[in-house]
Structure formats: C-alpha cells, structure tokens
Structure 1
Amino acid sequence: MANKKYSNYRKEAKSLKYEVKEPEELLTFLLKVMSNRSRNSVKSILARGQVTIDDHIETKYNYNLRPGQTVTILKNKAAIKENVLIGMSILYEDEDVIVINKEAGLLSIATEKEKKQTALHQLMEYVRREDPENRVFVVHRLDKDTSGVMMFAKSEQVKRKMQDNWKDIVKERTYVALVEGKVVKEKGYISSWLKESKTHLMYSSPTKNDGMHAITHYQVIQANEEFSLLEVQLETGRKNQIRVHMQDLGHPVVGDKKYGSKQRNAIGRLGLHAKVLSFNHPTTDQLLLFKADVPQSFLSKSK
C-alpha cells in the first residue's frame, strides 16, 4: 500500500475528547464541557464542523447523544491558526494527485447552501498556500454522508486522463455498507438499469437497457438479526448505485431514509464507507492502493 506522507502538509490539530455518560442533546453537552465559552461561541464551533461524534462530523444542536459515544472537539485556535483540514486527512500527495480520507458529514464540493466547508475548497486553499497558482480538481465524488477514500487531481490534464480512462485506470473500489436486517445469502450481485426521477431520486428500471447499466457485488462480513456489514465492490460507478441496489436487495443502507431505511439514527450517519481505492498512477503508471479503516460503529452494530 502506498503510504507516502508529506510531514509538512499540516500540523496535528489539538483536540479535546469526551466520553458521553448519559443521554442528552449535543449543544447541552458542549455547553457543559466548554463552560468557559459563550453559547454563540459553542454554536459557531458546531457550525464550522469542528465537532465529531465517533466517526462523523455533527453540526446539529439537537443531536441526541448516547452513553458510550466519544465527542471530539477541534480547538478553535488550532483550526484557525494552523490551517487544519476539518473533516478530512491527507493519505497521499505528489505533483499530480491528492488522496484523502473524508469523514461523513463533509461535502465533496460546494452546494447552493455551502460553499466553503467542503473537501474541494479546503484542498484548494491548502495547495495555494504553497503557490497561489496551484489548483485542485474533482475526479470523483463521495456523498456528503459517505466517508472514506477520495482522490483529487492537481491539473486539468490529470483530471481528464483519470475520468476518460476511469475503467482502465481504477483497479479496485471497495466499500463497506452497514445495512438493515440479516442478509442470508453470503455473497451475490445486483444488476439493473438505473434511472433518475424528476425529484433526483435514482431507481432501478424493470426494463432491460432502460437507463444506465449498474452492477454491484457484495459479500457478508458479519451479521446479526438487526444489521449486516457487507463488503461491496462496484463493477460500474453510477450515482447512488450502492444505495439503490441495497434497497433492491431488501436491506437498505442504515440511515438512508431516501432509499428505504426504517431505522432512526442507529449510528447517527449513513452506513456507507469507501474502504479501498486502487489505481494506476496517471503519470508513472505505478499501482497505488489506499485504505481507510472501517468505522467502529459499523463493526459494533453488526457483531
């Protein structure tokens, strides 16, 4: 596995960790542990994405904490003065690409509502600290609530090469999905034609060749009566592919209300994580492989 790291790319963020002892709302909890700060100051720390619960960023004031969870607060001074990357860490960097591990809750790119608190914006600022002319380009995306390995290009040329030859260059894309219910069949695959509704909902068409062909392979890692943890490999990379196919399988992704999830807030996030990305380097052709550990909440729920 490629593990080259630039020691000077960022300073380690100073953070505070607290274990939750009793059920209460997040803002109430934060006001107690940061009693020296004003209510507005605590709210702004939340809004900036500086609070992580277990393995996801949480910005909702009324998020219901459960005993045993760990709340991590990135110190304000650390975040502002040291230009710390919030909600992500760099796994690898060279002249052509940057590979990150993205936390659930961080947008990949800007939306109408959020322009700055995104992986792209933060990386753009990061590379421009070295040279104002530097830029970063999105090669592929992860949904806001999906965590894991994601790659960016440092030039338009590299971006185009990666996107135009995606099927040949990318050798492995493995996800883990925490889904509802016990998946009985140990391994299998789903094949369908995906279409998008007027309300931007993806769905499988019952008609052959009606839409974009999508194939998802899965294998059960561990399961109990309530939840199953699956290793999922994509043969095609369509929008919301895993989420639609898990719904088709009758086992929607945990926390995915958009695609059939019934469980309310089982892990406080979407049960989807990009575990492995392996590709041939666009310039050197060297085979690189990057991993992001499976979130602890996925493992404990499916034991």
Structure 2
Amino acid sequence: MRQQNPYKKDKYDHLVVREEAPLLEWLFANLKQSKSKVKATLQNRGIKVNGKLVTQFDFMLRPGDKVSVSKTKKNDQFRNRFVKIVYEDRYLVVVEKNVGILSMAAGHSSLNVKTILDEYFRRTRQKCTAHVVHRLDRDTSGLMIYAKDMQTEQLLEHDWHNIVYDRRYVAVVSGEMADDEGTIANWLKDNKAYVTYSSLVDNGGKYAVTHFHVLDRSTTYSLVEFQLETGRKNQIRVHSADMGHPVCGDIKYGNGDDPLHRLCLHAYVLCFYHPVNHQRMEFETPIPVPFRKLF
C-alpha cells in the first residue's frame, strides 16, 4: 500500500521553526502575506505542524517544528454541498448552511448539519460531536455555530445574549418598502398549530425586537438587512409579514411571492466573543448572488 506524503510539494510551502513562538504570531512574522490572508489560511485548516492539522492561533511552536502552509485557502478535508466549514478550533466550529437541510435531526429526516459534522469529526479522528447551540430553519441559509463539547455548549447557551454581539440576516421581501430603516417590536407566541403570531400587548409569549435597514429596492421587491436584538422562533419572518412586506418564498407567513423558489432569508453576519478564550470572532458571508440579481 502506497503511503501518502503529508508534505505534498504541489499543495504546501514548508518552513522550519527556529525560535519558540505562538503559531499565529510566528506566521505573521515569517509569511509574506497580509494578516487577513494568514488568518483565513489558519481558520480554513490550511496549516500543518509536523504533518498534523492545527487551527489554534496560540498553539506553541518549538525550535525544529516543521510548519506546512497550504497554497490554497480551502479546507481539503471537508466537502459537502449542504454545509461549508468557515472556521474551526478545538472548542467550536462555524459553518455556512445551505437551504434544504435541518440544523439537527427531527423525526425521520436524516439530512441535518449535526449528522454531517459528526461524520466529519469521525473521519478526521476528532474525539468530539457537534452540539447544537442555535438553529436556522430548514429553508434559511447562512452562518451557525456548533460546539464540540458539552462544556462549550453550556457556556454559549447560558450566556448567548452577551456572547453574541452582532447577528444580521439579509432577505428579499415582497413589495417596495417605504422606510429606509426602523425597528419592529412586539410579543410572539405559537398557537396550537405551531404558527407564530404577534401581539402589540403582552400575550404570554416572548418579547421580540428586530431592527431593519433597506439595502436596495425596486417597485416589486426590497433587499433588507435585519439585525436581531432578540432571537425568537420565526422572528424575522413574522416581523417582516407584520410590516406588510413578507419574506419572499415564505410558504408559512408569505403572500405567494416566490421569485427564487426558495425562502429568501440568509444569516450573513455572526459576531461573538469566543466562549473559552474571549477573542472577538467576526464572520460575514456574501449576500447570495440570486438575491442581488433581482435588483
């Protein structure tokens, strides 16, 4: 059986460490690249130390260590049409989820992000499983965090509102919105058929606050950024419908407007303090191209 050489010449540049230093600091000093490119390579699993993948920015290098730097920024260990790994370290993983896949298993449906990540962890011999911290609807795409252990999950779950300091979605909504920006706030509660409805007075549900900002508009549609102050179930979809401009493609709260044959809602900004090392973590994905093409 032919052994694979971990230092393939076509994929990696190789350097030898001369002095002890934290990995990210050493990479900044020894690579002729911008800091953002170096960080992206590290986040996307493009750095090996002595043949092993390392994503920890503060991993201590010793003299004589061999550092391999990928010439591409892509993570070659993980490919899936429904999920893309945006960032990974020993405590958590940030992914971009596609439409049509659940965040976690429900009923008999086997297609979900958690299962895909668990399989990837098994394949890469990581002794962990994906712990769900927050959810996106099956038909919403965008950024999500999964913890790799129970302790990290508890830290994120118990202090979610202090840890996550910016969470934004972009949506295509029906009709031309008149206001450039504003805030909508009311109480949201599910009825027996699991449909969320809103009330301007306390209906025993949960208080929900959404800020909106129009990015583009036509006479038919508006491209809107929604910033969540609270994260309630179906919050954006209900608030959008409350304003008379439901999210396009929303079969539950919409008006039948469906230009892209999908729910036009994408979680595109996610910023949080790392629950373990308290570093600021900031992630942004591009606004989906089909959304932009409507304008």
TM-score w.r.t. the length of structure 1 is 0.72
Q: Does 1:287 align with 2:284?
A: no
Deviation at 1:293, TM superposition (A): 1.1
Does residue 1:87 correspond to 2:53, yes or no? no
How far off is 1:132 after superposition?
6.6
Paired with 1:101 and 1:215, the residues of 2 have a C-alpha distance of 24
Aligned equivalents of 1:142, 1:160: Cα separation in 2: 19
Q: Which residue of 1 aligns with 2:186?
A: 192
Q: Which moved more, 1:131-140 or 1:248-257?
A: 131-140
Counterpart in 2 of 1:6? 45
- The alpha-carbon deviation at position 83 of structure 1 amounts to 6.8
Residues 80-123 of structure 1, C-alpha deviation per residue, up to 9 Å, x if partnerless?
xx8732311100000001001111112111121312x2111000
Query: Separation in 2 of the partners of 1:156 and 1:179?
Result: 38
Partner of 1:257, secondary structure, is coil
Give, in whole Å, the separation in 2 of the partners of 1:156 and 1:205.
36
Amino acid of the structure 2 residue aligned with 1:114: S
Asked if structure 1 preserves the Cα contact closer than 8 Å seen for 2:189 and 2:203, the reply is no
- Tell me the SS of whatever aligns to 2:262: coil
Is structure 2 residue 168 aligned with structure 1 residue 171?
A: no
Q: Which residue is equivalent to 1:126? A: 120
Give yes or no for the alignment of 1:252 onto 2:291.
no
**Aligned to 1:125, what secondary structure does the other structure show?**
helix
State the partner residue of 1:36. none
1:213-292, aligned counterparts within 5 Å?
A: 213-263=207-257, 265-292=258-285
| 1:130 to partner: Cα distance | 2.9
Structure 1: give runs of 5+ residues left out of the alignment: 10-81
| Rounded Cα–Cα distance in structure 1 between residues aligned with 2:249 and 2:109 | 22
Q: Which has the larger radius of gyration?
A: 2
Letter in 2 for 1:111: A
- C-alpha separation in 1, matches of 2:251 and 2:203: 28
Q: Per-residue displacement from partner, 1:5-30 (whole Å, max 9, x unpaired)?
A: 11389xxxxxxxxxxxxxxxxxxxxx
Q: Deviations over 1:243-277 (max 9, x none)?
A: 000000000000002003321x3101001000100
1:122-149 superposed Cα distances (whole Å, 9 cap, x missing partner): 0001112233742110111111111111
- Matched with 2:7 is none
Greater relative contact order: 1 or 2 (C-alpha under 8 angstroms, separation 6 or more)? 1
Report the equivalent of 1:111.
106
- Amino-acid identity (%): 41
Compare 85-94 and 213-222 and name the one that shifted more. 85-94
Q: Give secondary structure in 1 for the equivalent of 2:252.
A: helix
Residue in 2 that maps onto 1:300: 293
Letter in 2 for 1:204: S
Distance in 2 separating the partners of 1:272 and 1:162: 24
What is the Cα-based RMSD across aligned positions, in Å?
A: 1.8
Equivalent residue of 1:285, what SS? Answer: coil
Question: Runs of 5+ in structure 2 lacking a partner?
Answer: 1-35, 49-76
